């Protein structure tokens, strides 16, 4: 069998036959179809694997891919993608879990993933579009609600993005935004003790039923295909007492509390108001009630570039929605007035 001639580039090689076929493609086809084709992840990956030069051009000085957008329906893909791309080049990030298989959605994993994504996206200085759609229910058919740690991380992320001044479109869907959370003040400096607690929580794996012979208080955690009696939650560490006066020794917790009290605080409504570059805002399926909706017009008046707001599928009465519309800036278009959801028991 005759060998196929190749164009060598380092350790990789491209068959000449492939290049010849590409040269025969009419230019109008290339201009119309190839840009969309090459914008997909798999073709880009194949190109990067076929040439060391192309692979080098697709990465920045730190070895991260220079990708402008991440659009995915899988939490794992979003987290891995955010770890591999250059945050200075990322312009679009969309995560849509609304159509994900319910048996794959674990509330704790979604909560932990959202916290990690928020911490990473806060450094995306070029981000223009941010969309996060969660699912309504988890694998146990329980309402999927994010915890306080993920909520605070999301608020800090929005606060950091407002400083970059590039975000034009924001969508938060199926996230519980009730009055208490919308007005909750969050320290912009994350407390180390809280972060350690989140990390300890993330290290705990899914509990598996222990046999009857298992000692009382011993939990077995499943790791891959093995079940090992590891990472059992420990009892709270006792504070050490001073040998002289018997007072509690100040440690990391006291220092973290002092730092947290002196750092700026921001609520969700404040974070929205600080997004001066935002043009489109979608808060859909967020369980927003009338009392929370009534606070939004004051926020919208502080957003200079805002043009469109979508409040579909919340729990806002018609009279309240009309009052919100009347109080909004004239230039802002309000959507979702006739698309509210009410439950009658």
Pair 148, 265 in one domain: yes
Residue of 329, 293, 291 whose CA lies nearest to 311: 293
CATH number of the domain that residue 274 is part of: 3.80.10.10
With a CB cutoff of 8 Å and minimum separation 6, the contacts of 179 are 289, 291, 292
> What pLDDT digit, counting tens, does each position of 82-111 carry?
998 999 999 999 999 988 776 677 888 899
> What pLDDT digit, counting tens, does each position of 158-202 carry?
999 999 999 999 999 999 998 999 999 999 886 554 444 444 444
Confidence band for 20, pLDDT divided at 50, 70 and 90: low
Comparing 195 with 46, which gets the higher pLDDT?
A: 46
Comparing 12 with 185, which gets the higher pLDDT?
A: 185
Identify the sign of the CA torsion 156, 288, 174, 111. Answer: positive
Task: Summarize the confidence of residues 65-69 as an average pLDDT.
Answer: 87
Pair 170, 279 in one domain: yes
> What pLDDT digit, counting tens, does each position of 285-333 carry?
999 999 999 999 999 999 999 999 999 999 999 999 999 999 999 999 9
Q: How far is CA 305 from the centre of its chain?
A: 24
pLDDT score of 4: 46
Comparing 1 with 49, which gets the higher pLDDT?
A: 49
Residue 281 lies in a domain: yes
Residue 23 lies in a domain: yes
Q: How many CB atoms lie within 10 A of CB 288?
A: 23
**DSSP structure class, residue 205:** -
Residue 265 φ/ψ region, left for φ over 0, alpha for ψ in the -120 to 50 degree band, beta for the rest: beta
Q: Above 70 in pLDDT, residue 275?
A: yes
> What pLDDT digit, counting tens, does each position of 208-263 carry?
333 443 333 333 333 334 434 444 444 555 554 444 444 444 555 555 555 556 67
Residue 344 lies in a domain: no
Confidence band for 57, pLDDT divided at 50, 70 and 90: confident
Q: Which helix (H) or strand (E) holds 291?
A: helix 290-293
Pair 72, 170 in one domain: yes
Q: Above 70 in pLDDT, residue 36?
A: no
Kindly report the average pLDDT of the chain as a whole number. Answer: 76
| CA–CA dist 283, 15 (Å, integer) | 51
Pair 83, 18 in one domain: no
Pair 21, 82 in one domain: no
Pair 44, 186 in one domain: no
Full residue range of the structural domain in which residue 42 is found? 11-56
DSSP letters of 178-203? -HHHHT--EESS--HHHHHHHHHHHH
Q: Above 60 in pLDDT, residue 283?
A: yes
pLDDT score of 88: 93
- Structural domain total, the chain: 2
């Amino acid at each position: 069998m005759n060998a196929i001639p190749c164009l060598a580039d380092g350790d990789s090689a491209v068959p000449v036959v492939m290049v010849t076929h590409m040269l025969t493609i009419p230019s109008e086809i290339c201009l119309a179809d190839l840009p969309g084709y090459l914008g997909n992840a798999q073709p880009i990956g194949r190109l990067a694997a076929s040439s060391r030069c192309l692979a080098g051009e697709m990465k920045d000085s730190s070895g991260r891919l220079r990708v402008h957008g991440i659009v995915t329906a899988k939490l794992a893909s979003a987290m891995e993608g955010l770890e591999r791309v250059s945050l200075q080049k990322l312009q679009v990030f969309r995560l849509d879990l609304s159509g994900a298989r319910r048996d794959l959605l674990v509330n704790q994993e979604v909560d932990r993933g959202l916290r990690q994504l928020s911490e990473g996206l806060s450094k995306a200085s070029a981000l223009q579009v941010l969309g996060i759609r969660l699912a309504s229910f988890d694998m146990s058919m329980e309402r999927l609600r994010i915890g306080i740690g993920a909520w605070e991380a999301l608020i800090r992320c929005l606060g950091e993005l407002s400083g970059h001044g590039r975000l034009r479109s924001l969508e938060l869907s199926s996230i519980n935004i009730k009055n208490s959370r919308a007005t909750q003040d969050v320290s912009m400096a994350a407390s180390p003790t809280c972060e350690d607690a989140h990390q300890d929580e993330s290290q705990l794996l899914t509990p598996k039923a222990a046999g009857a012979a298992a000692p009382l208080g011993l939990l077995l955690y499943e790791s891959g295909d093995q079940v090992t009696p590891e990472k059992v939650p420990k009892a709270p560490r006792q504070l050490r007492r001073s040998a002289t006066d018997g007072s509690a020794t100040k440690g990391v917790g006291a220092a973290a509390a002092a730092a947290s009290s002196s750092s700026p605080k921001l609520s969700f409504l404040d974070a929205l108001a600080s997004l001066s570059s935002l043009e489109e805002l979608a808060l859909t399926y967020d369980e927003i009630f009338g009392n929370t909706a009534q606070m939004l017009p004051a926020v919208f008046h502080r957003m200079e570039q805002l043009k469109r707001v979508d409040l579909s599928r919340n729990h806002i009465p018609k009279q309240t929605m009309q009052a919100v519309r009347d109080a909004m800036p004239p230039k802002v278009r309000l959507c979702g007035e006739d698309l509210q959801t009410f439950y009658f028991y």
